[in-house]
Amino acid sequence: MASITLHAEFLPNIRQTTLYITLPTNLDPIISLSESRRAVTVSLPGPHDDVSETIKLPARVNEAARRVLEGQHTGTGNSIREKGESGSGSGNGNKAERELSFRMQIDPDDMGGGLLRPDDEVTSVEYVPWMAGDMGSYTRLGCRGCENVVLDCAPALKSGDTSSGWVWKDLPSGNWAEMMDFWHCHKPDTHDHDDGDHTVSIEERNSQVKGYGAANQVVASSGTGLVDVATFLVAEEDCRGLKIQNETSKKTSITCTQCNALIGLEDPIANGWRLLKAALSAYTPSKPEEDTTEEKQNRQTHPIETVVAAQLLELVERESARRFVVHAGGNDGLLLWVFNPDLRYSTTSTTQSNTTTARRGMKILYQETSNGEDLLSPENGKPSSLSLEELELPRDIYKTVYQTLGERNAMLPVSAREFREWRVGILERFERPVHTT
């Protein structure tokens, strides 16, 4: 049976949308751009005139795009790639396919409609799910799989004080420790001050007032949830429905008592537990009283890939690195290159549902590696890559990312699935809703 697959990508930096059309090799498509210039419809001629696909473009294109699309009828304005009977690894068996691609400039007036400009500064608030401002005084966290509640109301609520609840605070960025080292080495004021009773050094005063002291460190405290890119740091006594399970000699795992899923890791330095956002669901009622039915209906989860994408984006921003060794411990893992940290795409591929409207993601180039440790810490005499960073993930989260990249690779047009020795995939990014007044 004849079929059509459409895939479109918008790259903000060059303000261009690329449209890929995959169809049977012996048929010439009928391509039309909508009046709004935000959608493209492709149909086949008879006897397959009942076959048609429509895709919403990631950005509105300019009027000249009509001529680009119409150029396919005259053999201009597009690139045509013929696929042989083997399908060239497309997964379509012996079906011969033809692939057309079109590059269209976007309408400059559409750059304000929620699309990034090349000079926009992206902050962690935009790509990190569940920051402190998203949580509430009465937020409850549960196991993502079985919905077992693992973090209930704050201690003040348990004691009957309904006037207060959880306090949520965003942790500083990952380079906070380096910033503090710099501060202590380059303090602007080294003079002592007399408080009347005894002389107080500037370092002691900063420690007390600003929190800059060398003795200060992040420590979990009851009733407070500390939030970073991928975890919630909470006090052990505030948790329930969890158990300690030593999986390795390096880390102490925290698992769900009902389904045994990994929920978090012990952090002995911070004297608390780090609950993994990727393993959790959240419910924030307006009142402290528990409503089981409402909670089940309104529990919120975030795709695991968006949490991992946020970790990668934070490392790109903090370390200025684009290449990573991603693993779950040991040598086996992925060598991953964040090729484009920001793109919008839409597709009609059956490997991913509900993407005919635009989504925001990051283009990833990846390849499997069995010598991750050697790449990160080469032997003496071997060159090391200063631009290669490490991201270690819990095993289940790593498997999900690996599987997602494979599915997205199969979603892409055949010509876009490989780049030299790399496979190409997409990870979706978290995008905070835009509130308009």
Among 82, 112, 142, the domain-final residue is: 112
Q: Per the domain annotation, does 14 fall within a domain?
A: yes
Q: Per the domain annotation, does 81 fall within a domain?
A: yes
Q: Per the domain annotation, does 235 fall within a domain?
A: yes
Distance, CA of 157 to CA of 155 (rounded, Å) = 5
Domain count, the chain: 3
SS3 label, residue 125:
helix
Q: pLDDT of the chain along its 437 residues, tens only?
A: 678 999 999 988 888 999 999 998 888 899 999 999 999 999 998 888 889 999 999 999 999 999 999 776 444 445 555 555 434 434 444 468 889 999 999 998 875 445 554 444 456 678 999 999 999 988 999 999 999 999 987 665 566 565 568 899 999 866 655 555 555 565 555 555 555 555 555 555 554 444 444 455 789 999 999 999 999 999 999 999 999 986 655 779 999 999 999 999 999 999 999 999 999 999 988 776 666 666 667 889 999 999 999 999 999 998 888 999 999 988 899 999 999 999 999 999 876 655 567 899 999 999 999 988 778 877 666 655 667 899 999 999 999 999 999 999 999 999 999 999 999 999 999 988 765 44
Helix, strand and coil content of the chain, in percent to the nearest 5, comes to 25, 30, 45
pLDDT score at 214: 47
Distance, CA of 61 to CA of 133 (rounded, Å) = 36
Residue of 201, 218, 200, 267 lying closest to 239 (CA atoms) = 267
Q: Per the domain annotation, does 225 fall within a domain?
A: yes
Q: Are residues 344 and 379 in the same domain?
A: yes
Asked whether the beta carbons of 166 and 313 are under 8 A apart, the reply is no
pLDDT score at 266: 94
With b meaning 16 or more CB within 10 Å and e meaning fewer, what string describes 194-212?
eeeeeeeeebbbbbeeeeb
Distance, CA of 241 to CA of 22 (rounded, Å) = 50
Q: Are residues 157 and 286 in the same domain?
A: yes
> DSSP label at 77?
S
pLDDT score at 77: 42
Q: Are residues 216 and 164 in the same domain?
A: yes
Q: Are residues 107 and 190 in the same domain?
A: no
Among 237, 270, 298, the domain-final residue is: 298
Q: Per the domain annotation, does 106 fall within a domain?
A: yes
pLDDT score at 135: 93
Distance, CA of 141 to CA of 134 (rounded, Å) = 13
pLDDT score at 74: 42
Q: Which residues are within 8 A (CB) of 271 and not within 5 positions of it... i.e. 6 or more apart?
A: 219, 220, 235
Q: Are residues 35 and 182 in the same domain?
A: no
Q: Are residues 159 and 269 in the same domain?
A: yes
Q: Are residues 32 and 73 in the same domain?
A: yes
DSSP line for 226-253: EE-SSEEEE-GGGB-SEEEEE-SSS-EE
Q: Per the domain annotation, does 121 fall within a domain?
A: no
- How many degrees, rounded to 5, is the angle at CA 426 between CA 423 and CA 430? 155
CA distances (Å), origin 100, targets 2, 31, 406, 416:
16, 11, 23, 12
- CATH code of the domain in which 65 resides: 2.60.40
pLDDT score at 48: 84
Phi, psi (5° rounding) for residue 31? -115, 130
What angle in degrees, to the nearest 10, is found between the helix axes of 304-319 and 395-411?
90
Q: Are residues 136 and 217 in the same domain?
A: yes
Distance, CA of 229 to CA of 325 (rounded, Å) = 19
Q: Are residues 287 and 414 in the same domain?
A: no
Q: Which residues are within 8 A (CB) of 420 and not within 5 positions of it... i.e. 6 or more apart?
A: none
Among 298, 317, 339, the domain-final residue is: 298
Q: Per the domain annotation, does 436 fall within a domain?
A: no
Q: Are residues 315 and 339 in the same domain?
A: yes
pLDDT score at 298: 81
Structural domain harbouring 54: 5-112
